[in-house]
Amino acid sequence: MSNIGCPISYLMNRRWSSVGPDSHEERRAILTWSKRLIHFGIVAIAILVPSSLVGQLSKAQSPLVPDGWYVYPANKLKNIDETTLQCFNNSHNEWRVSSEKGSLKIAQYVPQNYDDLPLPPMLKLEAGMPGRTIRAGLKSSIHFNNAWLLAYDAGEWGGGLWLSNEDGTKTKRIVSENVRTVVPFNGGVLVLSGLAHITMNFGNAFVLSNPDGMNISLEHAISLDGAPSAYSTESDGSILFTTTYGLCRITKTGELQRLFYWPNWTRQQYSNSISVIADGTVFIGMRMFVLKLSLSSGGYQEEWLLPNNCRTFSLREFDCVCRP
């Protein structure tokens, strides 16, 4: 703007001569150019300044709130009372978020059925496997060229990660704690494990090589602040996941990043799913609420979403009953 201001200042402060036959023509020309330059300056300000501000705002906060949902007032959450908190904790509403053709989808959470997971044909119940059958507590099975990884999580009844050969005649336990998920990661696998039960609350992340027969190696181990739950793979191969205390990321280099801490009142909302839209906004499905985290200069800005038909609620027979 200084380049625009200099010629304006020069023309406006120029001494006017009252002598000579061309003085009126000169005045008229100078006034014409002054007006044009001033007009140009105003137009430049109108175009450049708002566009830069809008760019900053669009990066700082996404305006998106899904159809059929609204943002629950932050001041009510800040001053939450025990009765309302108990209502939240007992809600039978649990929401799962996902992405469908690039659009966010929110649906009632339905527990996954693991009964049809494939298994090595000759696998037998091994010491340490929870339950009385090879499927009790089974949460995932991944088949490699000549090996299997079998993840178990039966809560307080135990769990672990077993490596098996192709037909299941040989097995060995390689992680001795509850395994929440096994995710392909940077040419190997990422194992998220841990347990939150009564006074116990711990978690770990193990980066393992892909197995080759009965051989597998530990590449990296990370201690977490609590038990992990939901996860999502980002476009660059990093893994977003939630723990008892907040949202974290493990980068492809194995770095742990703590991105957002839950407010104290959310400890029993139990996150179950994560979805990230194109502008980087993170949606997390959980009990009662869907949490929306918008990127801002200081990290994430939180908004707690409820369905439009849940404007008021009350605790009734161990459920949080909503009303419009």
> Amino acid identity, residue 239?
I
> Domain check: are 197 and 156 in the same one?
yes
128-167 per-position pLDDT tens digit: 999 999 999 999 999 999 999 999 999 999 999 999 999 9
> Domain check: are 247 and 303 in the same one?
yes
Q: Of 72, 62, 98, whose CA–CA distance to 305 is shortest?
A: 72
> Domain check: are 199 and 126 in the same one?
yes
Residue 235 lies in a domain: no
Strand partners, 161: 151, 175
249-306 per-position pLDDT tens digit: 999 999 999 999 999 888 789 999 999 998 899 999 999 999 999 998 889 999 999 9
Residue keyed to tokens 């100078």: 30
> Domain check: are 247 and 105 in the same one?
yes
Q: Domain span at residue 6? A: 2-59
H helices within the chain, ranges in order? Answer: 2-13, 23-60, 74-78, 82-89
Number of domains in the chain: 3
Q: Among 30-44, 65-79, 162-176, which is the least confidently predicted range?
A: 30-44
Q: How far is CA 92 from the centre of its chain?
A: 23
104-134 per-position pLDDT tens digit: 999 999 999 999 999 999 999 999 999 999 9
CA dist 299 and 236 (Å) reads 19
Residue 206 lies in a domain: yes
CA dist 147 and 167 (Å) reads 8
Q: How many CB atoms lie within 10 A of CB 97?
A: 26
pLDDT band of residue 64 (cuts 50, 70, 90) is: confident
> Domain check: are 122 and 98 in the same one?
no
pTM of the prediction?
0.79
Residue 25: per-residue pLDDT: 53
CA dist 138 and 153 (Å) reads 6
Residues 322/309, Cβ–Cβ less than 8 Å: yes
CA dist 231 and 287 (Å) reads 16
198: tokens are: 């009564």
> Domain check: are 85 and 120 in the same one?
no
| Top-ranked range on mean pLDDT: pick from 25-29, 45-49, 70-74 | 70-74
Residue 189 lies in a domain: yes
Residue 45: per-residue pLDDT: 36
Q: Of 3, 62, 66, whose CA–CA distance to 37 is shortest?
A: 3
Residue 237 lies in a domain: no
> Domain check: are 315 and 261 in the same one?
yes
Find the helix or strand (DSSP H, E) in which 140 lies. Answer: strand 138-143
Residue keyed to tokens 């602040």: 225
> Domain check: are 323 and 269 in the same one?
yes
Backbone angles phi, psi at 78, to 5 degrees: -65, -30
Residue 236 lies in a domain: no
